[in-house]
Amino acid sequence: MYQQEISMRGLTRGQVLEIRRAHLASNLSLSFSRTPTGPLCVLSREGAYLYDHHDNGTCTPILDCVNNVAHVGHSHPRLARVALAQLQAVNTNTRYMHPTRVAYARKLTATFPSPLREEGVVFFVNSGSEANDLALRIARCHAGGSRETIVLGSAYHGHTESLIEISPYKYQGKGGFHPPAYVHQVSAPDMYRG
C-alpha cells in the first residue's frame, strides 16, 4: 500500500473536528459523522481508496464510492505528473493566447456534430458550477431573456446563486425555499417503467 507521509500537524482527530466546527461553515456536510469512530480524517488517498487516519498513527482504507474519482482514482502517478507539468507550463486564463488551448479547442470542436463542428465555439471554465451557470445564461439569452426553466427532480446543478434557486436538491432540502414560479420540475425518465 502506498502511504504518503502526511502530518496531523500535532493535532488529534478530536481537535481537527473542534477547529472545523469553529472555523468552517456549519452547513458544509461532513461525511460519516454519525459512525462510531466519527467523521473520516483523510490525509492520504490512492486509487479507489481514502485512508482514515487515527490518533495512534494507523489508518483504515475506505473504498471511496462518494467522491468524483471513479474515472481515474486518487493520486494516479501519471496524471499527477502530467497535471504538474501543465500547471508549470500553461496559463489557464483565456485572455492570453496559448497554442495548447487553441489546439484543444480545435480538437474538441472536431468531435461535434454538424453544424457545430464547423461553427461551434467552446468556453473553458474551471468547474461544473461555472459551466452550468454559463449554460443557463446562454439559454436565457437565446430564449430572448425568458427565465422559464425545466429541471429534473433531485437535480444538482452547482453552487452559484442562479443554480441553487433552480436545483431541487437545494429548494427541497433542509432550510430550502420553494422554487421560483419560472422553475418547472419534471421527473427523470425511467427507462424500465417508461
- Write the pLDDT tens digit of every residue in 134-170: 999 999 999 999 999 999 988 889 989 999 999 998 8
At residue 82, φ and ψ (nearest 5 deg) are -65, -45
Residue 179 near residue 168 (C-beta atoms within 8 A): yes
Specify the pLDDT at position 57.
Answer: 85
3 — pLDDT class (breaks 50, 70, 90):
very low
Query: Which residues are CB-contacts of 45 (< 8 A; sequence separation ≥ 6)?
Result: 51, 64, 74, 75
Residue 166 near residue 178 (C-beta atoms within 8 A): no
| Amino acid present at 35 | T
| Amino acid present at 179 | P
- Write the pLDDT tens digit of every residue in 38-86: 899 988 888 889 899 888 888 899 888 877 666 778 888 898 899 899 8
Say yes or no to pLDDT of 7 above 70.
no
Q: What's this model's pTM, rounded to 2 decimal places?
A: 0.68
- Write the pLDDT tens digit of every residue in 89-132: 877 778 888 888 899 999 999 999 999 999 999 999 989 999 99
Parallel, antiparallel or unpaired: strands 149-152 and 59-63: unpaired
Cα 149 from chain centre: 22
Q: What is the mean pLDDT of the chain?
A: 87
Residue 46 near residue 1 (C-beta atoms within 8 A): yes
CA distance 38 to 1: 24
For residue 30 the three cell numbers come to: 461532513
Q: In what order do the strands lie in the sheet with 49-53?
A: 42-46, 49-53, 59-63
